[in-house]
Structure 1
Amino acid sequence: MIHPTIIRKQRIMIALLLLSMIVLAIITMGVGYSSVSFDRILPTFFGQGTFKEHFVLFEVRLPRILITILAGMGLAISGAILQGITRNDLADPGIIGINAGAGLAVAVCFLFLPLEPGNFVFLIPIFGFLGAFITSILIYVLSYKKGRGFQPIRLVLIGIAFSMALSGAMIIIISGAEHAKVDFIAQWLAGNIWGTDWPFIVALLPWIIILIPWTFFKANQLNLLSLNEPVAIGVGISIEKQRFILLIIAIALAATTVSVTGGIAFIGLLAPHIAKALVGPRAQLYLPITALLGGVLLLLADTIGRNIMDTMIPAGIMTAIIGAPYFIYLLIKRA
């Protein structure tokens, strides 16, 4: 049974994070290259704005804000799942190669397949999922040692090796491509959020609204998988089956997200750790906090990156600036 005090604390944190997300979204709507005065945001929402204000708000700012929030939530939950099923605090879809696998598949799809513009938006998450799935299966198989079972530390090390190898393969693939296509892939690698139109939201939203609630439903299994294997077996859970189901959810969330946002890392590392520090290690408590934190962190990184300098800094670079020191701290802490 969860203590009422902890539940109350969780609800307060959810309310604060939702408020922070709304405030940050309003700030993001008003700042940027084509600014919209803050006192004009509400009238524009109700159809009383000029053509320019309506265009900037509904065709430029709002789709980007929604994509960024959805992407942050997906990456954060994916990271939380991976940390739970591997029992490793260093697990993150960007660090262990899932994002790289999705990116390679997206690059191949973009460079070599004759896709129509209308189909591209909806097919790119599927190609990203297939690339990430194949990569994850290879990492999972290589992390399994006969007689000793699944090795969490081994998974992280093999995942980092795969990430580097796949990034190298992507560079080789794009080396002979057209300049415009190479420019797109380069922006993708840097984590420059590119899918900022309404069709991309339509393509991403079903994955988010199905898989994140499903993860919440699987919270108890995630709690058990976070324990050692004899305890999990003792309570009657099918470890490999539940681990595989949750792994597929994590892959799908990470792959479809980075397919439309680019190679963004560390959100899946940071958000679960902060959430656990706030409300404890029980999945029923920290998963909702993790999702909201992921949305807030990525929206904050994107907003800062677009406004801190005259030239836009991709959100992926901003998250790396924030996340890399924390990753080093975790490595030192575990040593």
Structure 2
Amino acid sequence: MIHSALIKKQRLLIGIFLTLIFLTIIIGMGLGYSSLSYDRLIPTLLGQGTFKEDFVLFSIRLPRIFITLLAGMALALSGAILQGITRNDLAEPGIIGINAGAGAAIAAFYLFFPIDSGSFIYMLPVVAFIGSLVTAILIYVFSYDKKVGLQPVRLVLIGVGFSMALSGLMIVLISSADRVKVDFIAKWLAGSIWGTDWPFILAILPWLLILIPFTLYKANRLNLLGLSEPIAVGVGVSVEKERIILLLTAVALASSAVSVTGGISFIGLMAPHISRALVGPRHQLNIPIAILIGGLLLLIADTIGRNVVQPEGIPAGIMVALIGGPYFVYLLLKK
């Protein structure tokens, strides 16, 4: 039974974060290399803008804003799931190697397979999912002990090792590629929001529409998995089965996000921590908050990054790492 005061607090926080996201979107629509005055936003949205205003807003700004928002939400939810199933506050798709697995698969696909412009956008999440899934299975196998089960600390350490190894593999892959393809992979590694067109939204949105409700449905299972294994088994939870299902969910969310944003880490680390600090450990309460925080964090990072240095800007992945790196060290020392 969840206390009514906590439910009221959650609803209030949801309202606050939705408002902050809305304000950040408004600010982001006006800022950029080609500025768009704020008094022209509403007329342009209503179809009364000039050709330049329409192009800047509908072809450049809005697709990027929505992709960034959706990707941040997916990464935050993936991190919340991973932290729940491993009982490790340091678990996050970027840190434990899942993002690197997606990157290696995308790099191999982009460099060595024939690319069809019509299906390329929709193939990327699938390719990233396959790469992430293989990586996650290997990390899980190496972290699992028959006597004690999954070892959370070992999982993080092995994941970091896989992340470094796969990053090295990507460098080897691009060492013999032509300049154009190298530029694309380099931008991906930096976490540059490269998928900035409406079809990319269609590529990532179905994953979120299916997996967010599914994760909320599994929220109570996540609560039980966060306890010790004997307790979870004692109340009738098939621990390994639930872990595998939720791990696949986390992998799908992370791979769908990084396939259009590049290798962005730390969103899945910070957002769940902040949400748990605000509303407590119950996943029914903190997952919706974490999703909104993840979207807001990546949106703010990208808005600042693309306006700090003109015209290219600083990749969102680097902006997030500037905050997330010290936060990760703090958690590591704390734990």
1:233 aligns with 2:233: yes
Give the superposition deviation at 1:149.
1.1
Question: What is the CA deviation profile of residues 255-300 of structure 1, one whole-angstrom value per residue up to 9, with x for unaligned ones?
Answer: 1110110000000000000000011110000000000000000000
Q: TM-score, normalised by structure 2?
A: 0.99
Moved over 4 A (4+): none
* Equivalent in the alignment of 1:112: 112
Give the superposition deviation at 1:242.
0.6
1:63-142 maps to which residues of 2 (within 5 A)? 63-142=63-142
Task: Name the SS for the 1:24 alignment partner.
Answer: helix
Give the superposition deviation at 1:179.
0.4
CA distance in 1, matches of 2:284, 2:145: 31
CA distance in 2, matches of 1:220, 1:238: 13
1:1-335 maps to which residues of 2 (within 5 A)? 1-310=1-310, 311-334=312-335
CA distance in 2, matches of 1:333, 1:280: 18
Q: TM-score, normalised by structure 1?
A: 0.99
Question: What is the CA deviation profile of residues 293-330 of structure 1, one whole-angstrom value per residue up to 9, with x for unaligned ones?
Answer: 00000000000101122351000000000001110000
Task: Name the SS for the 1:49 alignment partner.
Answer: coil
CA distance in 2, matches of 1:156, 1:287: 22
AA matched with 1:144: Y
AA matched with 1:182: V
Give the superposition deviation at 1:184.
0.5
AA matched with 2:286: Y
CA distance in 2, matches of 1:202, 1:309: 30
Give the superposition deviation at 1:229.
0.2
Q: CA RMSD in A?
A: 0.6
AA matched with 1:10: Q
Gaps of 5+ in 1: none
AA matched with 1:176: S
Gaps of 5+ in 2: none
Give aligned pairs, total.
Answer: 334
CA distance in 2, matches of 1:42, 1:198: 20
Give the superposition deviation at 1:164.
0.2
